[in-house]
Amino acid sequence: MSESASPRKYQAIADDLRDKIVAGTYAVGSQLPTKAELMTQYDVALNTVDRALDVLRDLGLIESQQGVGTFVRTANAGQKADLTARVAHLEAQVSELYELIKGMAAKGPRQQ
């Protein structure tokens, strides 16, 4: 995954990690891979990993302990996380549609 592939790369990483938490790949109480490991796994910069972890932290799925690591706090936030992911996906689709409509309007009336 290239850093420039998407401006919302952090959201895709957060979604992937959330899915793994909800599915039990990362059980409650287990430690997530280190930031360095996540950077390598997703081929992204540290700030992208930090933003992805912030999303999961905001959902209440993880907690970090400085100098120790990041741990799964609960999988029960899965429904809220799923809803948040769906809303984010819909927002991205609406934004794309808006840009498409804006581009069409800039071209003027359709020539027949």
Measured between alpha carbons, how far is 58 from 77 in angstroms, rounded to an integer? 10
Q: What is the pLDDT of residues 53-73, one digit of tens each?
A: 999 998 889 999 999 999 998
| Residue 37, in any domain of the structure | yes
CATH number of the domain enclosing 12? 1.10.10.10
What total number of domains does the chain contain?
A: 1
Joined together, the tokens standing for residue 68 give 């120790």
| Residue 98, in any domain of the structure | yes
| Residue 45, in any domain of the structure | yes
- Structural domain containing residue 76: 3-107
* The 3-state secondary structure of 3-23, one letter per residue: HHHCCCHHHHHHHHHHHHHHH
| Residue 97, in any domain of the structure | yes
pLDDT of residue 4: 43
Global pTM value: 0.64
